[in-house]
Amino acid sequence: MSKKLSKNQLKELKDCFDLFDNDKSGSISSREMKKLCDSLGIRIGDRELNELMNLMDSDGSGSIDFKEFVNVMADQFFREPSSAELEAAFDYFDRDKSGYISEEELLMAMSRFKGNITKSDVQKMIQAVDKDQDNKINKKEFINVISKQKF
C-alpha cells in the first residue's frame, strides 16, 4: 500500500469487516467468505474459495483478521473503477435489466449488505442521486455518483 489510509477510511474498512465477520470472532472464516460471495451473487467453488483465502490469509491461520483485510482492501480506496466494473456494478443492482435501478431493486440489494435498511433510507438514496427526478437511478446517474466517490 503506497498511500496512507485516513481515519474515516479505516473506519469504513472496519465497518465492512464487521459485516463480514458474522460470528464476531475477530476474523473472517472461509464459511463467512463463502456466504459473502453468495450474497454478492458470486458463485465460487471450494478450490477458488481456498485460493482466495490463501491470498488474503498472510499468516496462514486459516482465517482473515482485520490487519490482513486492510492489507488487501486498502488499495481499493485509491483505485479508479474501470468502465467494465462500473457497468457490472450497475447490472448487479438492475436485476430486471430495465436500464434503471428501481426503489425495490435498491432495497433488495442494500438489504443484502445491511440488513436493517428501510424503504425511507432507500428513497433518500435515490433522491440524492436522481438528477432527472423520475424516482429511479439510470446508468449515467449511477456512474456519476460512483465516479465522484473518494473512498
pLDDT tens-digit profile of 52-86? Answer: 999 999 999 999 999 999 988 887 777 778 888 89
In the prediction, which pLDDT does 120 show?
Answer: 92
Asked if residue 131 lies in contact with residue 141, where contact means CB atoms within 8 angstroms, the answer is yes
Predicted confidence (pLDDT) per residue in 10-59, tens digit: 988 898 889 889 899 999 999 999 988 877 667 889 999 999 999 999 99
Query: Which pTM was predicted?
Result: 0.56
DSSP codes of every residue in 114-144: STT--HHHHHHHHHHH-TT-SSSEEHHHHHH
